[in-house]
Amino acid sequence: MSTSRGIRNNNPGNIDRNNANKWQGRMPRERMNAEQRAETRFEVFVSPAYGIRAMCILLVNYFDRHGCDTVRKIINRWAPPVENDTGAYGRAVAQAVGVDADTWINVHEYRRLRPLVEAIITHENGRQPYSGDVIEEGLRLAGVTKPDAAPLVAVPKAATTAAVTAATTGGAVAVAEVVQQVTPVIQGLMPVVQQANTVAQSTAGMPSWLRLVVAGVVLVAAGASVYTWWRLRRARQAVAT
């Protein structure tokens, strides 16, 4: 089976080359093979995962900046009618995503973005040759992960530990009291956990020192938010008493 241009370039979305776009994972010319060096139109990436990442970034930009919130709008921009059978392309992608071509979709959602990416790869190359792990890595590099994926920052275990201690000393009533007291604390910490997860995912491709700087800024801001939440809770308790 011959290798399509998109697969050969690790650019399964056939993204046009634009020197203004400083893509992560762009292949340096000295590392290209002869066929890749001969490429005159499309980007060449170091691996399929980085080509898939670029697809995800473009699709999210289409949604955020250009109002492309249906499959029809997305494909009309991705593959303009002047050089594509956009109608057939859109119908095939909509069927793969499981929606009507004019149904509103949010491409920030994993359940929409992954099948959208795989359908575009299939249409652009005649097949989708990548394993699930490669697709997942491309989405992860773009900051999109499965909703049920394990968080990069562990959820606090204070509630579980306190409940076990209470069970051994005071039985079910004590467990209920402890959980009731600890739950607001856990709820207050969850925004911090969510922010840390988001930062860890979205800065995955950055240098380590820059990731540390960004993480430090976010944690300071998150700490200030938790402190404000604690002060407001104390004030509400004072009013209630």
What are the pLDDT digits (tens) for 152-207?
444 444 444 444 444 444 444 444 443 444 445 445 555 555 555 555 555 555 66
| 10 and 129 inside one domain | yes
**Mean pLDDT over the full length of the chain:** 79
Q: If we measure between CA atoms, which residue out of 164, 163, 156 comes closest to residue 189?
A: 156
**Count of C-beta atoms within a 10 Å radius of residue 172:** 9
Of 13-27, 84-98, 171-185, give the lowest mean pLDDT range.
171-185
Can you give the pLDDT at residue 194? 57
DSSP-derived 3-state class of residue 45: strand
Domain boundary among 116, 141, 166: 141
- What lies within 8 Å, CB to CB, of 91 at 6+ separation is 101
| 9 and 96 inside one domain | yes
Model pTM? 0.62
User: What does the angle CA 65 – CA 15 – CA 83 come to, to the nearest 5 degrees?
Assistant: 95
Are 158 and 182 a contacting pair, CB within 8 Å? Answer: yes
| 28 and 110 inside one domain | yes
- Is pLDDT larger for residue 21 or for residue 136? 136
Q: Which domain holds residue 70?
A: 5-141
DSSP-derived 3-state class of residue 1: coil
Helix (H) or strand (E) holding 163: helix 158-202
